[in-house]
A and B are shown apart, each in its own frame.
Chain A
């Protein structure tokens, strides 16, 4: 039996709004699981059900073999870190960390020793007597993490803990969170809409959309082998284009009139339309950032725009009847950046062609949600 198990979880709010449906998850002890999805996909509601702040309409939640579905939040022994830190403004940093320990009935010496230990863990040894308003946002969130860890919870829940911080602190703090989690070996559930955060931190990612699980997998699986169109569009940048099956057994397709190959046989019949996903970083511009490898697919395109994104240059092109394909190439001073209107040959290996599920249709709102999440 897994350490944290959610079985058949459903949450329906008053008015018939279904926030979460058919949610099943089994997380092992010490695992770092992220819930990833756009706003309103049900990830925070699921986290709140694990914490006990929301009661599931159906399904069960067990932690370490104990059914906690109907247990009050203050009896679940689950630590929670909130997006808005939720530090108690009337208490010092040390008192905030000691709060749960005092409730637990630890002696004064034990509390003092544990608080000192946690202050060292979060590198705020000299800030114990400060009040929350005297700390920066990053420091406040570290205190919130220490406070949640103080009671040695069975499961640590983090609800978008880095969303309110600026980019540099966010990156630094997520390394710190991961390091602390590994050090303590605590089972962790992390809610985020930031794919980069989820990919970097997690052992496994649960991608959610409209209250349902789209895919559960390791970051590698989620990124490289998206199970649905939504996952493909939400995780990473992607070119989602329509192609037609030519010879399913041989994995042959046509993409806007160009014959292309996939690395495996296709389902479906000849002439059938399928959605194909191409990661921009898997495409090369012949003669500009490399030479085509043997067996690579080649498609003639016209450059429409070039954007510098720091370490990456994004070249936007169109093929055939105006189908847009974006290409990401690493920036370097010797890169001969093509001009708008210039014809280029795009090359990509057969294994870069991801044929999405046959019924997959990338909805405009999925793409918008992905874009929103990237902002």
Chain B
């Protein structure tokens, strides 16, 4: 046998290991360069359309004319307000359905997780137009004559948006549940006398706050921009209003897009502040 003895490291090999360790400690300039490039490309992709829209909206004389027209139109605030209200109701309903379901699946029915995941993905494969036609066919005749009234139609809209929110909300909540030891927290609460409602309300929901917020953001963004379902159900939502405006005006749609963009972000920040209860202290604890 001519190979080196086990456990003996040749001096040059030690040198190589030392060098590689030094290299690891050095700042990775190449990596940082690529990271900045990716960041700049991403930011450009995001910002350039906004700047272009802003530039286009400022072309009339005086430049604020499009914004003044939009803000003077009562339908703008009416439709945006309606969409926000529908969005908030959708978020609440979606959370009430998804959180107990995801919790129970994790706790008691882990084998069903792939099935539930698949079901929540169905809105991706089913176009909104199919969904809304199905809803109109089923709920436009007695005994379920929902489309005959405004409240009934709005309820259908909320139901449809809740279905659309499932893929985002389920994933967000499931990731949140994965970050905590659901079984042990549940058992700890049970041993202290808590019933299922108390466990969900006092332990599971508060610890899912961050996850639920991310699901809520996505849901709100979808609801505010959605057109097809709102238009077919003849709802005074923001999507159909924007479409109508784009058909009749030149510069105002650009102004509306930017204003709604800003308001949506503002709403998300408000949800975050309200959802966190003004605190940023919720963290999942662990052994130290």
Question: Which residues of A are in contact with B by a Cβ distance under 8 Å?
Answer: 51-53, 72-80, 82, 84-90, 99-100, 103-104, 131-133, 135-137, 140, 144, 147-148, 150-151, 157, 164-165
Q: Are A74 and B288 in contact (CB under 8 A)?
A: no
Q: Are A88 and B284 in contact (CB under 8 A)?
A: no
Docked Cα-Cα span, A99 to B190, in Å, equals 11
Residue of B nearest to A150 (CB): B192
With A88-B203, A103-B193, A151-B192 as given contacts, are A82 and B187 in contact (CB-CB < 8 Å)? yes
Does B248 interact with chain A (Cβ within 8 Å)? no
Docked Cα-Cα span, A53 to B194, in Å, equals 13
With A86-B184, A89-B207, A90-B203 as given contacts, are A73 and B285 in contact (CB-CB < 8 Å)? no
Docked Cα-Cα span, A247 to B194, in Å, equals 65
Q: Are B287 and A85 in contact (CB under 8 A)?
A: yes
Q: Are B287 and A140 in contact (CB under 8 A)?
A: yes
Question: Can you give 22 contacting A-B residue pairs, CB < 8 Å?
Answer: A51-B187, A77-B193, A82-B188, A86-B187, A86-B188, A88-B189, A89-B282, A89-B283, A89-B285, A90-B203, A90-B282, A100-B193, A103-B192, A103-B194, A133-B284, A136-B288, A137-B288, A144-B188, A147-B192, A148-B192, A151-B192, A165-B287
Complex interface: chain A residues within 8 A of B149 (CB): none
Does B286 interact with chain A (Cβ within 8 Å)? yes
Q: Are A73 and B198 in contact (CB under 8 A)?
A: no
Does B2 interact with chain A (Cβ within 8 Å)? no
Give the size of the chain B interface in residues (CB under 8 angstroms): 27
With A84-B181, A90-B203 as given contacts, are A74 and B287 in contact (CB-CB < 8 Å)? no
Complex interface: chain B residues within 8 A of A104 (CB): 193
Q: Are B191 and A80 in contact (CB under 8 A)?
A: yes
Q: Are B185 and A88 in contact (CB under 8 A)?
A: yes
Complex interface: chain A residues within 8 A of B44 (CB): none
Q: Closest Cβ of chain A: how far from B265's Cβ, in Å?
A: 27
Q: Are B193 and A74 in contact (CB under 8 A)?
A: yes
Residue of A nearest to B203 (CB): A88
Residue of A nearest to B193 (CB): A103
Q: Are B287 and A99 in contact (CB under 8 A)?
A: no
Complex interface: chain A residues within 8 A of B184 (CB): 82, 84, 86
Does B127 interact with chain A (Cβ within 8 Å)? no
Point out the residue from A75, A78, A137, A147 that lies within 8 Å of B287, measured CB to CB.
Answer: A137
Docked Cα-Cα span, A123 to B85, in Å, equals 50
Residue of A nearest to B209 (CB): A90
Docked Cα-Cα span, A223 to B185, in Å, equals 37
Of B189, B282, B284, most buried by chain A (CB within 10 Å of CB) is B189
